[in-house]
Chain A
Amino acid sequence: MVVDDDDDIREAIALLLQGAGYDTLEARSGRDALRKLRDGGDVAVILLDLRMPDMSGTDVVQELKGDPTLARIPVVVMSGDNAACATATGLGADACLVKPFELKTLLATAARFAVKGWTRAS
């Protein structure tokens, strides 16, 4: 799952992951992401931008890790600054991508947590 309020970057990341063989699910806000996850969306990893209006990335991390049904899903946060990354890791995020990051870094991170061609359980 890719969560970012910026449409272009969300789409770019999703397209590139798809090109590499992964299935993706997109959400344009924290609330949107949580709703989709609770509606039965089953994901291998959540890529989450930290700086979003309305509900911030760190709030989303807290809510995910506080919800027993969602806490097991690895969360990779994306941010422009190291300090925010450190805060998110402290709250339970599993990894951090510091913008701007390389394509190969993105793909390596995806490979750590997800399997190509994996589809949602029905």
Chain B
Amino acid sequence: MMGADSARELERSRARLDEAQRIAHLGWWEWDAGSNVVTWSDELHRIYGIEPGTFGGTFEAFLARVYPDDVEPTRTLVLDTIRAGGEFTMDHRIVRPDGEVRMLHTRARTQRDDRGVSTRMMGTCWDITVRWRLLERVTLLADAGRLLASLDVEPALAGVAQLIVPRLAAACAVDLLAGGARRVATVVTDLSAASRLEAPDGVLSGCPAIWTDDRGSHMGVPMVARGEVLGVILFLGGEGRVYASSDLELAEELGRRAALALENARLYRESRDALRVREEFLSIAAHEIRTPVTSIHLAVQGLRDGDQPTELTRKLLDIVEREDRRLAQLVDDLLDLGRIRSGHLQIDLTRVDLVQVAREVVDRLAPQSARTGSEVSIASDARVVGSWDRARLDQVVSNLLSNAIRFGQGKPIRVEVRAQDGRAVLRVSDQGMGIPPEDQRRIFEPFERAVRERTFGGLGLGLYIVRTIVEALGGTVHLQSAVGAGATFTVELPREVRA
């Protein structure tokens, strides 16, 4: 028999235990397997949302309160454990009388008698709903984010709708407004549920909303980018789900991410289209300019070669001819710049002898070098052949040689073409004004890098184009120069271009 002190001690001890459980939201239960009697603590009743003492007291009464999809796994795990003995840990959902779904973290241990027969199971349940919802939310956003990283937006939106149902809704629809409203995705758990999901005007104007009608609780969020409503996402809660503001926050976040993806895809498309339009325009413009330049060119050459023009006439004609060559060069540079920028520099590979190309360029630029007084000499192997683009190589040699002539101050210029260790080496050296060290890297950049004196004449693109062509052929270009000591440009190319 217990004394009064012991009884009070026991009472106090029980009270402390109850209080501890209440503070921790930890429920306790015990199952007498033999008699199938289940006892729940008061806190566990509170977790299940029922009055203390109203729990049915059997294993079946417990299962009746478990969330439908989780009933089988729970039943199986408990029965297996009671049979085999031991412990288990499990997360499962329950449904409260008001329909709210909670997530419980349950741990239990079996007790056996001396003969090894399981007699009792005791366990604790911890309501982890808040943490679970947070994890669900983060996972949903992360998964949606991964899908929305694609530039192929409509399939991505359909994928996001698949993520939303049934985690966040019984039915989901995504509508896009551009070019006339259309529905790009619909996902439903039950076909009757959602064919009439409609966006209210408020959502269409950019205001997220929760509302209820005879089919249940709904949410609608706009997808807004740069102040424009690109579309909406609609949710139907379905059986037992009532949306709260935390759900709306999650939906809004999804809407924001979807809008960003839509905007990115649109910007990408627009910039690609703009580039294509510009490329086409440049191509047409270039041709249009080349035709009159050809007319002028031919006419001038005809006049000059004709009946004994006077000295003055011949000189004026020379000027006209030089100028239309410059015009043609400017047009080519512009066209090349456009192509380089959009990544479309054309390279046609054939067997080319670099020595021959160099000789042709030297011949062609002979009038220019004669005018400045620079004597141009070529030193080369007999032939240096490789798989290159002839016209582009011509451009490289021309650009380098015409620079040498322009800045060579009338002093000799040397062009060297050799084969060396399986590569082709082209060297153009002048003895003119030279290039200061701080400019040496910049001159290979296109004009917007603020090139100074080197830009006189032309658009300042020559060396940029040289570098781009050389790199496209798999080679390198280097500069060696000092102020007042001339400049040497060295181009090295592999004999075969790897595609």
Q: Is B5 an interface residue (CB 8 A)?
A: no
Which residues of the partner chain A approach B297 to less than 8 Å between Cβ atoms?
100-103
Query: For A13, A79, A81, A100, which residue has the most chain B Cβ atoms within 10 angstroms?
Result: A100
- Is the beta-carbon distance between B324 and A100 smaller than 8 angstroms? yes
Q: Is B497 an interface residue (CB 8 A)?
A: no
- Is the beta-carbon distance between B294 and A9 smaller than 8 angstroms? yes
- Is the beta-carbon distance between A6 and B302 smaller than 8 angstroms? no
- Is the beta-carbon distance between A103 and B301 smaller than 8 angstroms? yes
- Is the beta-carbon distance between A6 and B283 smaller than 8 angstroms? no
- Is the beta-carbon distance between A82 and B346 smaller than 8 angstroms? yes
- Is the beta-carbon distance between A6 and B291 smaller than 8 angstroms? yes
Query: Taking the nearest CB of chain B, how far is it from the CB of A97, in angstroms?
Result: 9
* Alpha-carbon distance between A102 and B298 when the two chains are bound, in angstroms: 7
Residue of A nearest to B286 (CB): A80
- Is the beta-carbon distance between A81 and B283 smaller than 8 angstroms? yes
Q: A12-B299, A103-B298 are in contact. Are A80 and B290 (CB under 8 A)?
A: yes
Q: A9-B291, A19-B306, A103-B305 are in contact. Are A81 and B298 (CB under 8 A)?
A: no
Query: For B305, B306, B348, which residue has the most chain A Cβ atoms within 10 angstroms?
Result: B305
Which residues of the partner chain B approach A103 to less than 8 Å between Cβ atoms?
297-298, 301-302, 305
1/0 contact string of B381-393 vs chain A (CB within 8 Å): 0000000000100
- Is the beta-carbon distance between A101 and B294 smaller than 8 angstroms? yes
Q: Is B328 an interface residue (CB 8 A)?
A: yes
Which residues of the partner chain B approach A9 to less than 8 Å between Cβ atoms?
291-292, 294-295, 298
* Alpha-carbon distance between A86 and B346 when the two chains are bound, in angstroms: 13
Q: Is B287 an interface residue (CB 8 A)?
A: yes
Which residues of the partner chain A approach B301 to less than 8 Å between Cβ atoms?
102-104
Which residues of the partner chain A approach B265 to less than 8 Å between Cβ atoms?
none
Query: Taking the nearest CB of chain B, how far is it from the CB of A107, in angstroms?
Result: 10
Q: A80-B286, A82-B391 are in contact. Are A99 and B302 (CB under 8 A)?
A: no
Q: Is A83 an interface residue (CB 8 A)?
A: yes
Which residues of the partner chain A approach B391 to less than 8 Å between Cβ atoms?
82
Residue of B nearest to A19 (CB): B302
Interface class of chain B by DSSP: helix
Residue of B nearest to A86 (CB): B348
Which residues of the partner chain B approach A71 to less than 8 Å between Cβ atoms?
none
Which residues of the partner chain B approach A83 to less than 8 Å between Cβ atoms?
346
Which residues of the partner chain A approach B346 to less than 8 Å between Cβ atoms?
82-83
Q: A9-B295, A80-B290 are in contact. Are A15 and B328 (CB under 8 A)?
A: no
- Is the beta-carbon distance between A99 and B305 smaller than 8 angstroms? no
- Is the beta-carbon distance between A99 and B298 smaller than 8 angstroms? no
Residue of A nearest to B284 (CB): A51
* Alpha-carbon distance between A83 and B291 when the two chains are bound, in angstroms: 17
* Alpha-carbon distance between A19 and B306 when the two chains are bound, in angstroms: 9
* Alpha-carbon distance between A51 and B289 when the two chains are bound, in angstroms: 13
Q: Which of B266-297 contact A (CB under 8 A)?
A: 283, 286-287, 290-295, 297
Q: A13-B298, A82-B348, A106-B298 are in contact. Are A99 and B306 (CB under 8 A)?
A: no
Query: Taking the nearest CB of chain B, how far is it from the CB of A20, in angstroms?
Result: 9
1/0 contact string of B309-349 vs chain A (CB within 8 Å): 00000000000000010001000000000000000001010
Which residues of the partner chain A approach B305 to less than 8 Å between Cβ atoms?
103
* Alpha-carbon distance between A15 and B369 when the two chains are bound, in angstroms: 32
1/0 contact string of A6-48 vs chain B (CB within 8 Å): 1011001101100100000000000000000000000000000
Q: A81-B283, A81-B286, A82-B348 are in contact. Are A6 and B295 (CB under 8 A)?
A: yes
* Alpha-carbon distance between A81 and B339 when the two chains are bound, in angstroms: 13
1/0 contact string of B348-384 vs chain A (CB within 8 Å): 1000000000000000000000000000000000000
Query: For B291, B293, B348, which residue has the most chain A Cβ atoms within 10 angstroms?
Result: B291
* Alpha-carbon distance between A50 and B328 when the two chains are bound, in angstroms: 19
- Is the beta-carbon distance between B348 and A100 smaller than 8 angstroms? no
Query: Taking the nearest CB of chain A, how far is it from the CB of B308, in angstroms?
Result: 14
- Is the beta-carbon distance between A100 and B293 smaller than 8 angstroms? yes
Query: Taking the nearest CB of chain B, how far is it from the CB of A53, in angstroms?
Result: 12
* Alpha-carbon distance between A103 and B298 when the two chains are bound, in angstroms: 5
Query: Taking the nearest CB of chain A, how far is it from the CB of B107, in angstroms?
Result: 74
Q: Which of A56-115 contact B (CB under 8 A)?
A: 79-83, 86, 99-104, 106
Query: Taking the nearest CB of chain B, how far is it from the CB of A111, in angstroms?
Result: 15
Query: For A9, A16, A19, A106, which residue has the most chain B Cβ atoms within 10 angstroms?
Result: A9
Residue of B nearest to A6 (CB): B291
A-B contact pairs, 6 of them (CB 8 A): A9-B291, A80-B290, A86-B348, A99-B294, A100-B293, A102-B301
Q: Which 5 A-B pairs have the closest CB atoms?
A: A103-B301, A80-B287, A80-B290, A100-B294, A99-B290
Please name 10 further chain A to chain B contacts, defined as beta carbons within 8 Å, in addition to the given A6-B292, A80-B286, sorted by A numbering: A6-B295, A9-B294, A13-B298, A16-B302, A80-B287, A82-B346, A100-B324, A101-B297, A102-B297, A104-B301
